[in-house]
Amino acid sequence: MRIYERIHKLTRKIAEQCRDIDEKSINKFIEMIAKSGRIFIHGAGRSGLVARAFAMRLMHLGFIVYVVGETITPAVRKGDLFITLSGSGKTLSVVTITKIAKEKGLKIVAITSHADSSLGRLADCVVRIKGRKLDNEKRDYVARQLVGEHEPVTPLGTLFELSSMVFLDTVVEEIMRRYKKSEEHMKALHSELE
């Protein structure tokens, strides 16, 4: 398969997955962001990189937002919003930090492929983005192909991470539309020390 065919197959799969996200959970997620005083965002590994990119765009929209684990992240307060990403919903560090956030009285949004996971059960709002099936994580790519399970050619959690990135960028655009934020407004808050 040529690389362009793989790109086409992957982008089709991402679009399909994003179309499957429940609209009620999307609206609840956006409303929770809009009503938040402060937002704390967390994820591990590549999901963490997606979370950081989303935090940056929320800052450009004028929200008070922090990435968990940074040296300048302040103490949380009851009522703050905590957004966390984990495809599996069982990454130990993510679940542990989310439990702490819940104990401190934060509102929790979990973006995960598994609403019934440890992470999903802690959340006030779950945005489910399909990714690789958990049983498929136990078998390698060649084994899945031999039994006819043809997922896009993406290793590990790539499908969840890419779909999450596309979804979250679309959430940014929806917030801009709903709350009349312009790109000029965002540019005014963009870092000049680059």
Q: Which residues are catalytic?
A: 161
Kindly list the strands in the beta sheet with 125-128, ordered across the sheet, starting from the edge strand earlier in the chain. 65-67, 39-43, 81-85, 107-112, 125-128
Task: Report yes or no: 18 and 170 within 8 Å, Cβ to Cβ.
Answer: yes
> What sections of the chain are H helices per DSSP?
3-19, 23-35, 45-60, 92-103, 118-122, 134-137, 141-146, 158-178, 183-188
Task: Report yes or no: 151 and 144 within 8 Å, Cβ to Cβ.
Answer: yes
CA distance 185 to 14: 29
CA distance 161 to 23: 19
The angle formed by the CA atoms of residues 123, 126 and 131, to the nearest 5 degrees, is 125
Q: How far is CA 62 from the centre of its chain?
A: 19
Classify strands 39-43 and 65-67 as parallel, antiparallel or unpaired: parallel
